[in-house]
Amino acid sequence: MSSPQIVWLRRDLRMADQPALYAAAQGGPVIPVYVFDQDRAGDHADGGASKVWLHHSLESLGRSYGARNSRIVLRRGDAPQVLAALADETGATCIHAMRHYEPWWKEAEDELRDALGEDTKLCLYDGNYLLPPGSVTTGSGDPYKIYTPFSKAMLERMPPRDPLPEPETIHSPDSWPESDELAEWDLLPTKPDWAGGIRDFWDFGEDAAHERLEWWSDVVAEYDEGRNLPSEDITSRLSPHLHWGEISPAQVWHKLKDKRSDGWKTYAKEVIWRDYAQNVIDQFPDYPTQSYRDYDERTLWRNPNAGHLIAQDLECWQKGMTGYPIVDAGMRQLWQTGWMHNRVRMICASFLVKHLLIDWRFGEQWYWDCLVDADYGNNGVNWQWISGTGVDSNMFVRIMAPLTQSEKFDAAAYIREYVPELADLDDACIHDPPDERRGDYPVKMIGHKEARERALEAYRSSKD
């Protein structure tokens, strides 16, 4: 029998359109390996919600491999060292892996090449994005920094390559290396078990991703207007499936590409935004931690580490106790389900950085811990867009009005679901309840007009 082929799994937890798995299956017996390497990513190690999704996704993928008389080898530790040792132990001649663009994974790929012996090579494949980051460039050959021209250039090269099928056969090695038990990794919370809302809200794994895509293909036509309505289920909710690689963007694109609707055109641009975010972090690896506009940030931001009252403001935002129903509904949905409606994500993020003037990085870290689709590129790019600090971003002086947004996009039912203490209020009142009708619900932390004037003054001072 030919030599074993290791498949290094990361955020590519699927069987179909998985180029690394497909290539490995052509080369010999396949040993799929997931290495739980948390130290490498530092502040961007998997957050609590991401660990919950990872557990269930690995569990689902393990069943899929089991149905093919195969299995996933689970190991914990420094990924390059673990994989190099495993290649030596099994006699593997190649480690196949999907290429990743987070800085810690790029570093790990380089370290793994150096750690492998002469008889083993590392083969990297593209396929987690529509096109490989760095492959779409300007006329002068430079990578794009601004989304709009990037998107236009991407659309000219669509559709992406055809998706690959599952391998026809996955051969097993003569003997399997030892493996951890998934439960030993303690990815799931115990006491208290705060993940019940995540389990209730989501189905995990490759089959669930394709079931949601099938549903979405019938709904996407409504998306152009429906995407702004948090009370309606008119968003794809494919983001965690795409993030964890349970489905590929090529599979999504080819499923929807023949749709002739404004909804598909709008959604297509959002799928391209995902590619754009990876292109940004490929150019600026520290983008989720470093601003790229010329502000005096000591003047612009209120730092929760510098004072108790500012820390209290941050905590009220995190817990959904700001006194703004649409903001609080969003923050509570985030905590309960590990996800937040996109329109509301923007409202909540804008509230933190402009109404409360709290440094966007505190928001980035909270979203990182709470989101099941927490993505290094998307999260950083989105926060820098809303805070006006990124290479391509909204102007800081454009300050979203949460109360107006709530009424405009008919968020009454959404508020009732996630802020139950206001459930008895009618639609006319629920977006901005008068103080005497709030009951136990808090009054507004700061008035919108006052917050807007304070933010504009801070901005002016930061530019002087």
Distances (CA, A) of 208 to 60, 202, 374: 10, 9, 19
Angle between helices 206-219 and 249-256 (to 10 degrees): 30
Q: Does residue 116 have a pLDDT over 70?
A: yes
Range 3-16 average pLDDT: 98
Angle (CA) 147 149 150, round 5° = 60
Range 357-369 average pLDDT: 97
Range 93-99 average pLDDT: 98
d(CA 357, CA 295): 14
Q: Does residue 1 have a pLDDT over 70?
A: no
Q: Does residue 62 have a pLDDT over 90?
A: yes
Nearest to 317 by CA among 119, 451, 183: 451
pLDDT value of position 298: 78
> Which residue type sits at 320?
G
Nearest to 50 by CA among 13, 92, 21: 13
302: phi then psi, degrees, rounded to nearest 5: -95, 120
Q: Does residue 303 have a pLDDT over 90?
A: no
Q: What is the pLDDT of residues 189-203, one digit of tens each?
A: 988 999 999 999 999
| Cα–chain center distance at 257 | 23
CB 364 within 8 A of CB 420: no
Considering the domain 1-125, what is its CATH architecture?
A: 3-Layer(aba) Sandwich (3.40)
The third-level CATH classification (topology) of the domain covering 297-457 is: DNA Cyclobutane Dipyrimidine Photolyase, subunit A; domain 3 (1.10.579)
Range 71-80 average pLDDT: 98
pLDDT value of position 305: 86
Q: Does residue 184 have a pLDDT over 90?
A: yes
pLDDT value of position 295: 80
322 confidence band (pLDDT: 50, 70, 90): very high
pLDDT value of position 293: 85
Which region among 53-57, 159-163, 298-302 has the lowest average model confidence (pLDDT)? 298-302
Question: How do strand 121-125 and strand 5-9 relate by DSSP bridges?
Answer: unpaired
Q: What global pTM score does this model have?
A: 0.97
Q: What is the pLDDT of residues 119-171, one digit of tens each?
A: 999 999 999 999 999 999 999 999 999 999 999 999 999 999 999 999 999 99
Q: Does residue 61 have a pLDDT over 90?
A: yes
Q: Does residue 371 have a pLDDT over 90?
A: yes
d(CA 148, CA 462): 28
2 confidence band (pLDDT: 50, 70, 90): confident
Residue 4: partners with Cβ closer than 8 Å, 6 or more residues away: 28, 29, 30, 31, 90, 91, 92, 93, 173
Mean pLDDT of the residues in the chain: 96
pLDDT value of position 117: 87
Domain boundaries, the chain: 1-125, 130-161+199-283, 297-457
Considering the domain 130-161+199-283, what is its CATH architecture?
A: Alpha Horseshoe (1.25)
pLDDT value of position 149: 98
Q: What is the pLDDT of residues 428-437, one digit of tens each?
A: 999 999 999 9
Q: What is the pLDDT of residues 265-293, one digit of tens each?
A: 999 999 999 999 999 999 999 999 999 88
Q: What is the pLDDT of residues 378-425, one digit of tens each?
A: 999 999 999 999 999 999 999 999 999 999 999 999 999 999 999 999
Question: What percent of the chain has pLDDT above 90?
Answer: 95
Question: What percent of the chain has pLDDT above 70?
Answer: 100
